[in-house]
Amino acid sequence: MAYQTIKVDTAVGPVGAIITGVDISKPLSALAVKEINAAWLEHHVVFFRDQSLTPTQQADFAANFGDLDVYPFMTAVDSNPNVIPIIKEADAELNFGGAWHTDTSYVERPPKATVLYAVEVPDTGGDTLFADATQAFHDLSDGLKNILESESGIYSPKLVHGREGSYKQAAARSEMAKDYGGAEDFAEQEVEHPLIRTHIDTGEKSVYCSLPHTHRIKGWTREESIPLFKHLTEICTQDKYVTRFKWQQGSLAMWDNRCVFHNALNDYQGMRRHMHRVIVQGERPQ
Ligand code: OGA
Ligand code: MN
């Protein structure tokens, strides 16, 4: 596709594209928004470098693509209610998002986009991996596709945020935000979604279930379900589907949670990493 307002470079890996030629701290023309959205739908993740964004400028950029959503488990920065800080302190062990997942897939209407901006990055490490769940689904055998499409999943935040969850325990060690207050009951709730979802804009199918968020296949036990989720995760995150993004201060990534998995590498022990995160409302997975 020929773009007038941006340049789109796909030499970043199997999924995603780097967009240059635009300062996203400023209000964008309707055409620029349309072109960025088109590149995002085509490539599933778009990256920008060398941006300089206040929380409100980041939120305003994200709001070009839909109404902003509120993440239920952390408190926003003071200057903007839609921006949450994702911070791993130098002495923390657990990081946020350090397993293959798509964001908040355990709510009824998970966010379609996540917009993540690097405020402070470690000298080495802290890359994020992105896997193309559309291409991975496409490459599955018809036999496995049929099984997955005929089943649904029970998704729940409890595996990470619930009473027994790893984030809850990290919060107790003061390594993560403590404000789980009103969200306690919500953290145990369950919602049914397909294992394979069809993208509302592109019509493409993608693998959607993930180990941290899909508690089980409906009608199966968790013990029965885990081996299939593990197997699918392994298949969908082979190198041929994965782009590794190296952050610099001022980098921004916007990914499509309906068709891409991501995984934040936790390989920078002893160093601090500080990101700002905004999410854009999505629709109920179909
Ligand atoms: C997220 C997430 C990845 C990262 O913000 O949803 O998974 O690299 N973060 O911090
Ligand atoms: Mn995430």
Residue 210: CATH number of its domain:
3.60.130.10
User: Measured in angstroms, how far is the CA atom of residue 153 from the centroid of ligand 2?
Assistant: 19
Rounded Cα distance, 73 and 157, in Å: 10
CB atoms within 10 A of CB 203: 7
In a domain? residue 107: yes
Quick check: CB of 154 below 6 Å from ligand 1?
Answer: no
Q: What is the pLDDT of residue 267?
A: 98
116 lines ligand 1 (CB under 6 A): yes
Ligand nearest to the CA of 273: 1
Residue 239 domain flag: yes
Condensed to tens digits (0 to 9), the pLDDT of residues 54-111 reads 999 999 999 999 999 988 788 899 999 999 999 999 999 999 999 999 999 999 999 9
Whether 2 maps to a domain, the answer reads no
Q: How many domains does the chain have?
A: 1
Cα of 274 to ligand 2 centre, how many Å? 14
**Closest atom, ligand 1, to C-alpha of 101:** 7
In a domain, 73, yes or no: yes
70 within a domain of the structure (yes/no): yes
Mutate to test the pocket of ligand 1, among 89, 96, 243 (most ligand atoms within 8 A of CB): 96
Measure the CA–CA gap between 35 and 4, rounded to whole angstroms: 8
CA of 54 to the centre of ligand 2 (A): 21
d(CA 77, CA 241): 34
280 lines ligand 1 (CB under 6 A): no
**What stretches in the chain show pLDDT beneath 50?**
none
CA gyration radius, the chain: 18
Look-up of token digits 């994702």: 86
- Separation between Cα atoms, residue 120 and residue 249, nearest integer Å: 6
Nearest CA to ligand 1 atom 10: 264
Looking at residue 179, what is its pLDDT? 61
Please list, in sequence order, all residues whose beta carbon lies within 8 angstroms of the beta carbon of residue 81, skipping any fewer than 6 positions away: 70
Report the separation in Å between the CA atom of 278 and the middle of ligand 2, taken as the mean of its atom positions: 11
Query: Is any atom of ligand 1 closer than 6 Å to the C-beta of 86?
Result: yes
Pocket flag, ligand 1, residue 96 (CB < 6 Å): yes
The rounded Å distance from CA 140 to ligand 1 centre is 27
Identify whether 285 is part of a domain.
Answer: no
Contact predicate 98/265, CB 8 Å: yes
Is 193 inside any structural domain? yes
Is 286 contained in some domain? Answer: no
What sign has the CA pseudo-torsion 265, 270, 274, 278? positive
Torsional class of 66: left (φ above 0), alpha (ψ -120 to 50), beta (otherwise): left
Task: Check if the beta carbon of residue 24 is closer than 8 Å to that of residue 56.
Answer: no
The atom number, within ligand 1, closest to the CA of 247 reads 8
Domain that holds residue 156: 7-280
CB-ligand 1 contact for 264 (6 Å cutoff): yes
Round to whole Å and give the CA distance between 100 and 234: 10
